[in-house]
Amino acid sequence: MNASAVALSILLFPAAGALLLAGRGWRMPRVVTQIVGPGVVWLSFAATLWLFFNQVNGDFAYWTWIKSGSFELPFNLLVDNLSIFMCMVITGVGGLIVTYSVGYMAHEDGPSYARFFTYMDVFIFSMLLLVLAGNFVFLIIGWALVGLSSYFLIGFWYQRRSAVLAARKAFVMNVIGDVGMILGTFVLFVTYHAVTYAGVFSHLTSLASVGDSAPLELAAFLLLVGAVAKSAQIPLHTWLPDAMEGPTPVSALIHAATMVTAGVYLVARMHPIYDITTYAHDAVAIIGAVTALFAATIAIVQTDIKRVLAYSTMSQIGYMFLAVGIGAYAAGLFHLLAHGFFKALLFMAAGNVIHAMHDEQDMRKYGGLWNQMRPTSVTFLIGCLSLVGVIPFVGFFSKEQILGAAFSRPGSLGLTVWAIGFATALITGFYTGRMWWLSFWGKPSPQRPVEHPHEAPMVMMIPVAILAVLATVGGVIQTSVLGFGPSAVSSYLDKVVTAAWWEAGRFPGGYTREFLVAIALLTMVLAAALFAGALRMRPWSAVVPWAQRLLERKYYFDEIYNAAFVRTMDAVASIGYRDVEKVVIDGAVVGTGEAAEATAGSLRLTQSGYFRNYVLVFIAGALIAAALLLVRTS
């Protein structure tokens, strides 16, 4: 088995699965869909593991797609540690989620069921293409396909108007990102006349080798637009909360583990560019930090459990952007892995709850689930603790690594983003705790739709359990953060991305990390007090109503965008329709027809029907001919 064939098979498995299910899936018995849908993802996972254990590293070209003059565009896959890492996350976590959705989507009828897994396989394929592509063109193709699959999956229950609108919103914002990516590729192509990674990066070996970095900065900013759109960072973030209209497995896969992490992958892959362009690189970190804080504050007031998790995702990805933005690529990618574990876990456990509650997602109507759905509650708790960053869960190690790198980075940027990140960690504890206490503790809410919720079936419980285990023990691969033990992820990734160029990971005095843990736990307890009722306090919506409103309205981003862009486009469109389309274009087209009709109508009157009139015209014609003859010959 040669490596290039295995690498290609990673893409071919989900593609084949998607084609099979799209073509025949709804006709075959349901068990075929249940096997093919997740099965192809696991096959890809196996192929990825093969590449991992054989330490494959190479740029495999399969065929030349465009050959025009001196420009050649091959279809090539770049298999290195970074892409294998991402593939493992995608196929591993993705495989668990697709397996989970076999049970979650069981209520769908035959064709819908096959359609769901078709879309999931298409998504997996697109995401794999994105991370495996060896040149910008296929990166963009994968990028766009991921956006498309996301549209399909968010709008899966297309009979719901809100789902369709959310899917549309996600797609439009993703397209904005696509445009940025394409323009960035154009800039790079114009500057370096290459579109393969190898071709472009070979020009960027050192800061000195690049004379004028202005086009590079421009390209970096444009690519950043794409990353920001896909990863739902400010200002292109408004689609992510609405995307929760999709089924819960979709939220888990796309909006926790994979699609939204594409932006982080992009910055890591383009690290030769970002290492040189300081402005764009700093922008990445600042955007990440601000988004992290911003999203965390909004999560405090959300009542829908999936929305809390959505804003939490936004916030955590902010952390990843923060990390890759300051140059700690490995730290950011480790958090990507950790986040994949615990966020998918949280979504899927929440999915169990939603499933048991007959699709009720309002947390205020839960309460007391700890006693009635013990396994799900335990796994959800593990996810929460991991999110907050409590030892020994994996979230602690990854968050710790990021904040440590930020703190000890020379320069003011590091310290600033550290402070923001620290504050965000506290707020994270608060909203996570609120989510936990409201949903699982206390007395069952009187508005509960189901009195005795049943636990999830095995096919849904096992992936959740696996992720819980991973979230618990995953930290061991990077315990170097604590000052001892392996740093498997860092050493694995540092081969392909720039290692942090400063001594990272050590807080001054070494106590602050424990401090962080304690603080975070404290905020969870605080949340308990407020929401589990031990402390009687006036809700702050009464104290500072404007703040409550500000947060509930998500800082009015949607309203601003609506007024600035949507209304403007609507106005332009209606002017275009009323004044251009109807008057000019329709006028020209219809007008031509009407002119022809009018002419014909007036000419028609010469056909009086009277024979003698016609003869008169004859004679008149003969007269004219005779007169002409006379003039000619005289």
Binding residues (CB under 8 A) for other proteins: these are 604-613, 615-616, 619-620, 622-623, 626-627, 629-630, 633-634
Q: Which is nearer to other proteins, 2 or 607 (CB)?
A: 607
CB of 593 to other proteins, least distance (A): 19
Bond prior to 247 in cis (omega within 30° of 0): no
To other proteins, the closest distance from the beta carbon of 599 in angstroms equals 13
Complex with other proteins: residue 568 or 613, whichever CB lies closer: 613
- For other proteins, the closer CB: 208 or 605: 605
Cα-based torsion angle of the residue sequence 228, 233, 237, 240 in order, rounded to the nearest 10 degrees: 100
Tokens of 114: 């096959």
Is omega for the bond preceding 508 within 30 degrees of 0, making it cis? no
Query: What are the helix (H) ranges across 494-539?
Result: 512-532
How many whole angstroms separate alpha carbon 542 and alpha carbon 553? 16
Query: In the complex, what is the shortest distance from the CB of residue 26 to other proteins, in angstroms, rounded to a whole number?
Result: 60
Cα radius of gyration (the chain): 31
Q: Which two tokens stand for residue 59?
A: 């740029």
- Dihedral sign, Cα of residue 24, residue 26, residue 29, residue 30: positive
User: Closest approach of Cβ 596 to other proteins, in Å?
Assistant: 15
Taken in order 522, 369, 364, 256, the sign of the CA dihedral is positive
Helix (H, G, I), strand (E, B) or coil at 204: coil
User: How far apart are CB 607 and other proteins at their closest, in Å?
Assistant: 3
Return the DSSP state at 457.
Answer: P
- The count of other CB atoms within 10 Å of the CB of residue 37 is 28
Q: For residue 318, what are the contacts with CB-CB under 8 A and spacing of at least 6?
A: 233, 287, 288, 289, 290, 291, 292, 293, 294, 295, 424
Give the residues across from 74 on adjacent strands: 64
In the complex with other proteins, the residue whose CB is nearer, 206 or 606, is 606
Q: Which is nearer to other proteins, 64 or 599 (CB)?
A: 599
Q: Assess contact for 13 and 44: CB atoms under 8 A.
A: yes
- How many residues would you count in the chain? 634
**Amino acid residing at 112:** S
Contact call for residues 98 and 117 (beta carbons, < 8 A): yes
> d(Cα 181, Cα 236) in Å, to the nearest integer?
14
Angle between helices 30-53 and 3-24 (to 10 degrees): 170
The distance of closest approach from Cβ of residue 600 to other proteins in the complex, given in angstroms and rounded to an integer, is 9
CB of 632 to other proteins, least distance (A): 11
Report how far apart, in Å, the C-alpha atoms of 148 and of each of 140, 288, 339 are: 12, 25, 24
Compute the Cα dihedral for 70, 71, 74, 77 and give only its sign: positive
Nearest approach in angstroms of CB 111 to other proteins is: 58
Nearer to other proteins, 560 or 628 (CB): 628
Q: Shortest gap between Cβ of 601 and other proteins (angstroms)?
A: 9
Using the minimum distance from each CB to other proteins, give the nearer residue, 70 or 602: 602
Minimum Å gap between C-beta 171 and other proteins is: 56
Instruction: Give Cβ neighbours of residue 380 (< 8 Å, ≥ 6 apart).
Output: 345, 346, 349, 350, 353, 436, 439, 440
Nearer to other proteins, 66 or 615 (CB): 615
In the chain, % helix, strand, coil (3-state, to 5) comes to 75, 5, 20
SS3 368: coil
Q: Specify the residue, 447 or 613, whose C-beta has the smaller distance to other proteins.
A: 613
Cβ proximity of 127 and 90 under 8 Å: yes
Q: Give the shortest CB-598-to-other proteins separation in angstroms.
A: 14
Nearest distance, CB of residue 160 and other proteins, angstroms: 59
For residues 395 and 344, the answer to whether their CB atoms sit within 8 Å is no
Distance separating alpha carbons of residues 296 and 312, to the nearest angstrom: 6
Instruction: Report the alpha-carbon distance of residue 266 to residue 575 in Å, rounded.
Output: 39
Supply φ then ψ for residue 453, to 5 degrees. Answer: -70, 140
- Judged by beta carbon, residue 536 or residue 612, the one nearer other proteins is 612
Maximal C-alpha separation, the chain: 123
Helix (H) or strand (E) holding 61: strand 58-68
Instruction: Please state, in angstroms and rounded to a whole number, the distance separating the CA atoms of residues 530 and 534.
Output: 7
Nearer to other proteins, 595 or 626 (CB): 626
Name the residue nearer to other proteins (CB basis): 587 or 621: 621
Q: Rounded to whole angstroms, how far apart are CA atoms 148 and 126?
A: 9
Q: How far is the CB of 594 from other proteins (least distance, A)?
A: 18
- CA 297, CA 526: separation in Å to the nearest integer? 16
Output 540 or 618, the one with its CB closest to other proteins: 618
Nearer to other proteins by C-beta: 23 or 601? 601
User: Least Å distance between CB 631 and other proteins?
Assistant: 11
The smaller minimum CB distance to other proteins, of residues 53 and 610, is found at 610
Q: How far is the CB of 615 from other proteins (least distance, A)?
A: 5
Q: Which is nearer to other proteins, 575 or 622 (CB)?
A: 622
Tokens of 382: 């593990």
- CA dist 178 and 184 (Å) reads 10
Least distance between other proteins and beta carbon 604 (Å):
4
